[in-house]
Structure formats: structure tokens, C-alpha cells
Amino acid sequence: MSAHPDTATSPDEGHYNFAYLDEQTKRMIRRAILKGIAVPGYQVPFASREMPMPYGWGTGGVQVTAAILGADDTLKVIDQGSDDTTNAVSIRGFFEKTAGVETTTRTSEASIIQTRHRIPEALLTEDQVLVYQVPIPEPLRFLEPRETETRKMHALAEYGLMHVKLYEDIARNGHIATTYAYPVEVNDRYVMDPSPTPKFDNPKMHEMAALQLFGAGREKRIYAIPPHTKVKSLDFDDHPFEVQKFEKPCGLCGAENVYLDEVILDDKGGRMFVCSDSDHCEDRRSHGHLGEMAADPAASHLASTGEERA
């Protein structure tokens, strides 16, 4: 390779095509995305490729992102709401390296947000695309293992089995005990797995302004929810759908009505609850919101000087 100064830093001049995938693969994924948008909630089969990461690490989401990503996009990647966990950091690094795109941790600045198991707390806009990493796209799979049968059920909109499952939840536990990957009905037609997001996030999918794309790499399925589309969590008249409620606000930023993670602090039962959406939490703290366990801002210089001495 000649080290030409103008091109040496260009990602296009490296060993990979822009965003890793070859153009034929991108075209095939793009066609599947268009079909997914045209038939909201229907799982479009696609020829998923092997990616340089193991199944379960977001190979489906990565392929969808690679197919839609452009040089002028700004990418945000979250894993369980956080920008700084292993999966998020490695996928962000993957696209920085193979596509050379801008990345960000700020929800409002991103044009594409790839997510593992959370929807950001901030409202998404018309100009954003949310890409989900999906492990098991078929909501009926644990009830009916045969693909031929589940395909027939979707074809006939025959979802009695799912209602029986939710009913059995009520019979055993007194309430619908499904807390994540809570099935939804899209556009009054297809029952869909929203990926293992907490059911707390289900109401955000309803009539969302942003386009939502779902990619399952190992299971080779792509599906989509267009903007402003009806998404209803399955329930019963006498057992309406409810989301989790938290007793306390976020310990760091004091946010209420957000999804919280439990953090164990010691082995004496000490714990705190903090925002799962790290960007939302940081944004609130930078605007002066403080939770009861947040450090006193006046003491921050002590911590920094202590680090310098160490």
C-alpha cells in the first residue's frame, strides 16, 4: 500500500468496505428493511452474514446499522441504556474504525441510535432512527418451537396461544408476570417481540416519531415499526397493561418516571437506584438536578486532588 497523505486516513482506503459489509449484502439488507417498513411487525427473513463478533453481541443490529449508515451520520450505541458498557463501546469503536463516522453519547445529537434492550428516555425525533439488537425475534417461539407453525399463526393472525400464556401468568401469579420482551401488537395486525426491553419502554414505541428497525443476526430476521404507528401491549380488559413503578427517584439525578438500575454498594445490603439511561442522567445532572446520593458539587475538587496525589 502506498502511504498517500490524502487517503491514508480515509476509512475507504482500508481493508474493508465502508461500514464493513460489502455492497451486495447491504442491498439485500436494505431490501429487507423496506419490506419490513411496508409490513409493520412482520419478520422479514434475510441472509444474515457472519460478523466479526459472536452471536448475541448484536450482529443483527450491527448489520442493519451498517446498511443504513452514511458518512454524514452521527451514531450513538447503548447497551441497557448505557453508553459505556462493553457492548456499546465495542460496537461504537467498530463503526468508528470501519466507517469513520462521528459518534456521540448524546441522544439528541445522534441520527442513528443502536440499542441493546432499552429505549432512550428522551423523546426521539422524526430525523432519528432507532436500531434494536434482537436475540429471539419470534414472540411465539417459546410457545411453539416449529417455524412452520408460527409462520402459519402469523399468516392467519392467530394469536390465541399468546393470550393463553398471559392468562396462565395471571392464573399462577395474580398478574401478568412478563416484565421484559413483553409482546406487542403492531398496527392492529402482527404480534411482535419488542426485543428484551423492559416493558417500561413499551409505551414509548407507540406512535414514536422515529423509525424503529429490528435486526436479529443469528435468527436472520429484520422487522420494523414506521413512525406514528399504533403499538399496543397485549393485555386483558380486567388486567390492563401496566409498567413497572419505582419507589424512589434516581439516586444521582433525582429523575422520576424513568427506568432505574439497582447498584449494590457493599455486602451489608447497601444499594442505590440510578437511571439506566446514562446520557439522560448526565444531562440532568449538568442542568443542576441532584439526587439524594449524588456527590456534593462543592466537594468535587477534593476528589480530583486526591486522584492527582495517588
Partner 1 sequence: MVAPHAATPSLTAALAPGFADPVHDAQRCFRALMQTMARPGTIQAYANETIAPPTPLSRTLAALALTLIDYDTPIWLDPALAQNPAVAGYLKFHTGAPLAETPGDAAFALIGDPAALMPLSNFNQGTLEYPDRSTTLLMHMQTLDAAAQVTLEGPGIKTSQPFGAAPLQPMFWDQLTANNAQFPRGVDVIFAGATGFATVPRSTRITKTEA
Q: Which residues are catalytic?
A: 41, 250, 253, 275, 281
Shortest CB 83 distance to partner 1, Å = 24
106 vs 228 by CB, closer to partner 1 = 228
Backbone phi and psi for residue 64, each to the nearest 5 degrees, phi listed first: -65, -45
Q: Which of 134, 11, 118, 5 is nearest to 70 (CA)?
A: 11
Q: What's the CA gap between 271 and 267, in Å, rounded?
A: 9
Binding residues (CB under 8 A) for partner 1: these are 12, 17-18, 23-24, 26-28, 30-40, 42, 44-45, 67-71, 151-152, 154-156, 187, 189-190, 207, 211, 224-230
Beta-carbon contacts of residue 239 (< 8 Å; ≥ 6 apart): 170, 175, 176
156 vs 264 by CB, closer to partner 1 = 156
**Residues 211, 202: contact at Cβ < 8 Å?**
no
**Residues 119, 203: contact at Cβ < 8 Å?**
no
**Residues 59, 214: contact at Cβ < 8 Å?**
no
30 vs 141 by CB, closer to partner 1 = 30
Shortest CB 35 distance to partner 1, Å = 4
**Residues 56, 218: contact at Cβ < 8 Å?**
yes
Maximum pairwise Cα distance, the chain? 71
List alpha helices for 40-198, DSSP H: 59-68, 86-98, 147-155, 160-173
Q: What's the CA gap between 115 and 58, in Å, rounded?
A: 9
Q: What's the CA gap between 40 and 225, in Å, rounded?
A: 5
Shortest CB 247 distance to partner 1, Å = 36
**Residues 81, 259: contact at Cβ < 8 Å?**
yes
Q: What single string gives the DSSP state of each residue in 97-134?
A: HHT--EE-S-GGG-SEEEEES---SSPP-TT-EEEEE-
80 vs 229 by CB, closer to partner 1 = 229
24 vs 304 by CB, closer to partner 1 = 24
Shortest CB 30 distance to partner 1, Å = 5
162 vs 252 by CB, closer to partner 1 = 162
